[in-house]
Structure 1
């Protein structure tokens, strides 16, 4: 593949992923990773996507900062951080393919139920964030899928779009920073990774900016349905990765 074609494909993918992130506040890695990993070595694609995800989250949080509910988010973050190291041990007892298959099927089924109008409201949200954070942390530490459990819970609670975007973005920023520090310690943040990231940041900014503008045109119902479709797509991608 020529360098020009390579760059054009990367730019298109990052703009699309940035748009989804700006619109729903999650899903950047879901869109970007499958494509970038095919044209960039995986050891470079993974940290590039995390760096760009952090940039997208910082852009979104500037727009949604007034709606962050810190009283709930800190419980989610602490539960997730405590559980994440244990996630690596899950793979000692469960085969990665089995874990991914179960997670993908579960996400798709719950997403479809919510899409069809079924919900299971939880009265004590603050307490419920503990198991949600633990599940998210375990999945992040094992198969790098921290977002869908949180997004499903917020969708189930019918959280308004502004609070949804703010809370899941604040949570994402903390995870991004910790992950990047881990990559730095392990030597994955090479000059090539930073070079690719710098080249792709302008494309990411364009995509996120358009997404943030577009979200203002969506009512609560359309936003919730779009978010659920992105969640379901993440489950489908998980199953495809197993196959």
Structure 2
């Protein structure tokens, strides 16, 4: 592939992914990974996306820091981290395609119900974070899909856009840091990973900046609908990738 065309494609994709992340606080990997994995070796594309995701999350948390409620989500974080190793073990027991298909269909159905106006608010929210965190950890450890279960739960609880963005971003930062440490230990953070990441950071910054500016023009209702559509796309892509 021509190097100039390669660079242009990567920049456009990362700007779009950064915009979605700045707008909804998740979804960067959903947009960036399928394209970058086509032009960069997968062993390099995966850590590049995680590094850029960490950068996007840090930008968003600066904007949403006043709304972070760690007292509420610490249970979610701990239960997710505890379940992640079990997710890896689950991957050894079950076929990856089966896991992806099941998770994708489940996410699509739940997101669709919420888009149709069906929600089931949980009164004991802190307690509910335990199974949500476990599900997120299992999916993260098995098929690297931690965000949608948390996003669906926050949407089901009708959480306002500021609290939604702040809490899911704080959660994402912790997972990003742990994942990057894992990659460093396994020797995946090689020179091309840092080179590509540095080249793509400016376009990522532009996308996130535009997304953060755009979110201020949306009310909670429109934000929730956009977030649910992004979740549905992630579920649809997961199903397609399992075929």
| TM-score normalised according to structure 2 size | 0.99
How is 1:159-170 mapped onto 2 (pairs within 5 angstroms)? 159-170=159-170
* Secondary structure class of the residue paired with 2:26: coil
What secondary structure sits across from 1:180 in the alignment? helix
Return the alpha-carbon distance in structure 1 between the equivalents of residues 43 and 92 of structure 2: 22
- d(CA) in 2 for partners of 1:6 and 1:238? 25
Question: Could you tell me how far 1:83 is from its partner in structure 2?
Answer: 0.6
Residue 118 of structure 1 is matched in structure 2 by 118
1:181 paired residue number: 181
Q: What is the Cα-based RMSD across aligned positions, in Å?
A: 0.5
Residues in 1 aligned to 2:100 and 2:10: alpha-carbon distance in whole angstroms: 27
In the TM superposition, structure 1's runs of 4+ consecutive aligned residues that sit over 6 Å from their partners are none
Q: Distance in 2 between matches of 1:191 and 1:89?
A: 30
1:72 CA displacement? 1.4
The corresponding residue for 1:21 is 21
**TM-score relative to the length of structure 1:** 0.99
Equivalent in the alignment of 1:86: 86
Q: Distance in 1 between matches of 2:92 and 2:26?
A: 29
Unaligned runs of at least 5 residues, structure 2: none
The aligned runs of 1:37-76 (5 Å cut-off) are: 37-76=37-76
Cα distance in 2, alignment partners of residues 6 and 192 from structure 1: 15
Structure 1 partner of 2:101: 101
State the partner residue of 1:132.
132
- Shift in Å, 1:93: 2.0
| 1:92 CA displacement | 2.3
Q: Matches of 2:239 and 2:92 in 1, distance apart?
A: 20
Q: Does 1:146 align with 2:146?
A: yes
Q: How many equivalent residue pairs?
A: 243
Structure 1 stretches of 5 or more lacking a match?
none
Distance, in Å, in 2 between the alignment partners of 1:147 and 1:131 is 14
